[in-house]
Chain A
């Protein structure tokens, strides 16, 4: 769907990264234009198709107090009008060229993309370069900015307000990130979105949209030289604005200092669920520890063979699902999460007691080398499978670089994750789920009187 928020409320799920750096036939490259625009080229010659993305180093994290949702609403506005394009023309031109365009906003970045047959790459660059420099925001009080605000309100209803589980998740994330800009969901608070003005949009544009604050990623049937020539031609002529300061509002997320329980009851809930959100890690800030946590979580609750699933779902049959996972791909620390849903006839109290008893037992016993090797190989293999998708490779490089990482960070991931030891994996989960750690417990329940 158009104009999407990255993964709804949450950050990107832990996605597969790249294949081994030893692969000689596959060599992403990077260079920077004189105006400061960084360019990344990810060759994939299987089909005469390219994915063209522009990433801006701005996200919901950077919004001013009271202006929540501006990063995302502004992303919608970027499709509307420039000095030379009337409203609607951007989409029309992309479509007439056989292209698909879209965009998404997260806490950490905003990205725009077009997927086209290779001969249309220059035209797509022309369009993106145009709106990087020449955007017009119509300030008619009855105009498109206002109707786009209504669209975003419908988007918020569709993504969040219609879904009891997401309503609860929004409350929990707000608690776990209290005091940090991540505490407000990317789409923003309904009443603040409703009050955003065209002037807010224009000042946001001036502050963040400029070549020196952007990354161009081209994946597909191209070479470094081809992209360099096209990028110089289309983007090279845009001067650095000088108004993009490049300062981000990232900060450390402190550990939770108090344990709380949040409950959401809703007549639409017919299957309860239980979860606990603990203070977690950031792969950007502490990559080794975050990789160790991923391996540990995979063993603990990463799938059907995991310890929690085998005990709670298979052996004890108290749960219908049991999982452990983390949001480690944000710039700042995200939560590590334990969750389960009860089997028919099992109370939430009994489910929680069984879950906690099993968790304590596993943390005390530790992991075997065999299961850790299997978990880390699986994580490394996802990087190979991920190469099948041109657009997800473009996203992996774009998101990594937008957070301040490097191409090498992407390429070395399989080797890095394979080097995690059994000791590191168990230490990571023992630390994050330690008895001294606080957590937010979240209970999603049927409304009183519902089945």
Chain B
């Protein structure tokens, strides 16, 4: 694979600039056509000229670490911000607090109440919103280049003077109260809960909102938690759009100026999966004609030496759509399902290799048996050399498809940053796939796939499960 981590001249300029950042040199060349504002101080920009994206890496004067892909052909700008720390940091008994934080981030700031804030976003034809997962708090903004400065001013107002008004806060609580009811008939939620209770009942990941935890939430607590979650030292920024580093840096600095430097968050322990999984599927009754079948076993971390062997195996197992064995057998040959998929889940503290599919209740037993048979076959005989070649051909050949839009590139860069894969990851990745051997794959199959020791959860009214 071609790999051009740096263009020599530019890198030299950047290194020089970084040695004497306040020196008299002109701003380093960034390869962009429009020059910086004349009075702007030199920004140290390192250019990573990769196969899939040319990433401009810099730290703003205000301290934000930014990866930017400057893409002039469409007059829009997408910015993503992320901080490590999310729902798992909710205090015990205040589950839902991180969600209250992110819900309120576009519900009023400064002189603008919720309606005025939302109206201002519409006037600017922009969007801004935040979300929380177990371990991350993220915000994203999309705007038109022509009024990007105004749009970022509004984002800045949310970070500096968020209102957390009682009105929107109460609306959040009403929506959450409805959610407590509707989740009880949601197959995906019921499967998640059954799995969490079976695998890690005492871990923060298994905690969920309740009537009591919602009653404990207040706007003041949410505002304090916002300051704990969104700090300068943990901030990661990625951006793609028609903008130069010199144009973007001051906008980001203005946005983050009021964020605390740091905070302390509770440490989330890693989950150790039980050595023995329940022998029989866990059934959650739900009156519907089709059953959701979800299954999970041990997984691997992104930095595990066997990760790519597992990743390649997963394609043949159940990740490769029509090319996967589960899809071939259970859909194409047996007509038991519309689709079945598997994937490696590499959370910060939970590693699983899981899959799911749906089948009519009458065939649930055959479906579960069929999954186990395919798993056992991979353990016993592994995949063929041809299957390995097919997997590598697809996984490497399709990689460019993930880089054909601004939004995809911004998201890909953020994933690499969150997983700490390094700025040259995009260019190394296909070689890592190619380096996987048949021996690696078949060893990993034996080591990780175990039909007799996988958790099966079935939601519906399944028949034929023994």
Q: Which residues of the partner chain B approach A256 to less than 8 Å between Cβ atoms?
A: none
Q: Is the CB of A151 within 8 A of B335?
A: yes
Q: Which of B142, B177, B331 is A385 in contact with, Cβ under 8 Å?
A: B142
Q: Is the CB of A154 within 8 A of B359?
A: yes
Q: Which residues of the partner chain A approach B73 to less than 8 Å between Cβ atoms?
A: 25, 44-46
Q: Which residues of the partner chain B approach A268 to less than 8 Å between Cβ atoms?
A: 185, 286-288
Q: Which residues of the partner chain B approach A99 to less than 8 Å between Cβ atoms?
A: 397-398
Q: Which residues of the partner chain A approach B336 to less than 8 Å between Cβ atoms?
A: 150, 154
Q: Which of A48, A147, A158, A320 is B178 in contact with, Cβ under 8 Å?
A: A320
Q: Which residues of the partner chain B approach A150 to less than 8 Å between Cβ atoms?
A: 335-336
A384 at interface by CB-CB < 8 Å: yes
B196 at interface by CB-CB < 8 Å: no
Q: Which residues of the partner chain B approach A385 to less than 8 Å between Cβ atoms?
A: 76, 142
Q: Is the CB of B118 within 8 A of A305?
A: yes
Cβ of A447 to closest chain B Cβ, rounded Å: 9
Residues 144-170 of A contacting B (Cβ, < 8 Å): 144, 146-151, 153-155, 157-158, 161-162
Q: Is the CB of B185 within 8 A of A92?
A: no
Residues 170-210 of A contacting B (Cβ, < 8 Å): none
Q: Which residues of the partner chain A approach B78 to less than 8 Å between Cβ atoms?
A: 388
Q: Which residues of the partner chain A approach B321 to less than 8 Å between Cβ atoms?
A: 2, 91, 95
Q: Is the CB of B290 within 8 A of A155?
A: no
Given A49-B400, A268-B286, A271-B178: A96 and B360 interface contact (C-beta under 8 Å): no
A215 to B114, CA, bound (A): 46
Given A88-B328, A91-B323, A268-B286: A314 and B167 interface contact (C-beta under 8 Å): yes
Q: Which residues of the partner chain A approach B171 to less than 8 Å between Cβ atoms?
A: 313-314, 317
A45 to B72, CA, bound (A): 11
Q: Is the CB of B122 within 8 A of A374?
A: yes
Given A47-B400, A304-B118, A390-B405: A157 and B177 interface contact (C-beta under 8 Å): no
A35 to B155, CA, bound (A): 54
A1 at interface by CB-CB < 8 Å: yes
Q: Is the CB of A270 within 8 A of B182?
A: yes
A341 to B, closest residue via Cβ:
B178
Mask for B144-186, Cβ within 8 A of A = 1, else 0? Answer: 1000000000000000000000010001001101100110110
Cβ of A138 to closest chain B Cβ, rounded Å: 13
Cβ of A228 to closest chain B Cβ, rounded Å: 22
Q: Is the CB of A149 within 8 A of B289?
A: no
Residues 328-366 of B contacting A (Cβ, < 8 Å): 328, 331-339, 358-360
Given A99-B398, A151-B335, A154-B358: A270 and B185 interface contact (C-beta under 8 Å): yes
A49 to B332, CA, bound (A): 29
Q: Which of B320, B335, B358, B398 is A98 in contact with, Cβ under 8 Å?
A: B398
Q: Which residues of the partner chain A approach B331 to less than 8 Å between Cβ atoms?
A: 151
Q: Which residues of the partner chain A approach B398 to less than 8 Å between Cβ atoms?
A: 98-100, 116-117
A116 to B288, CA, bound (A): 38
Q: Is the CB of B125 within 8 A of A344?
A: no
B363 to A, closest residue via Cβ:
A154
Q: Which of A2, A115, A310, A384 is B339 in contact with, Cβ under 8 Å?
A: A2
Q: Which residues of the partner chain A approach B390 to less than 8 Å between Cβ atoms?
A: 92, 95-96
Q: Is the CB of B397 within 8 A of A97?
A: yes
A66 at interface by CB-CB < 8 Å: no
Q: Which residues of the partner chain B approach A303 to less than 8 Å between Cβ atoms?
A: 118, 122
Q: Is the CB of A98 within 8 A of B174?
A: no
Q: Is the CB of B404 within 8 A of A95?
A: no
Q: Which of B125, B178, B187, B404 is A378 in contact with, Cβ under 8 Å?
A: B125
A85 at interface by CB-CB < 8 Å: no
Mask for B391-434, Cβ within 8 A of A = 1, else 0? Answer: 00110111111011111000000000000000000000000000
Q: Which residues of the partner chain A approach B178 to less than 8 Å between Cβ atoms?
A: 271, 320, 341, 344
Residues 239-282 of A contacting B (Cβ, < 8 Å): 267-271
Q: Which residues of the partner chain A approach B289 to less than 8 Å between Cβ atoms?
A: 157, 161-162
A385 to B358, CA, bound (A): 35
B74 at interface by CB-CB < 8 Å: yes
Q: Which of A100, A320, A378, A389 is B122 in contact with, Cβ under 8 Å?
A: A378
A388 to B393, CA, bound (A): 27
Q: Which residues of the partner chain B approach A151 to less than 8 Å between Cβ atoms?
A: 331, 335, 337-338
Mask for B183-222, Cβ within 8 A of A = 1, else 0? Answer: 0110100000000000000000000000000000000000
**A-B contact list, 20 entries, CB within 8 Å:** A48-B400, A79-B322, A98-B393, A98-B396, A98-B400, A99-B398, A115-B401, A117-B398, A117-B401, A146-B335, A147-B332, A161-B290, A162-B288, A268-B185, A270-B181, A304-B118, A374-B119, A384-B75, A385-B76, A451-B184
Given A46-B71, A157-B360, A270-B182, 11 extra CB contacts under 8 A: A47-B404, A97-B393, A98-B399, A117-B397, A268-B185, A314-B167, A317-B171, A344-B177, A344-B178, A384-B76, A388-B76
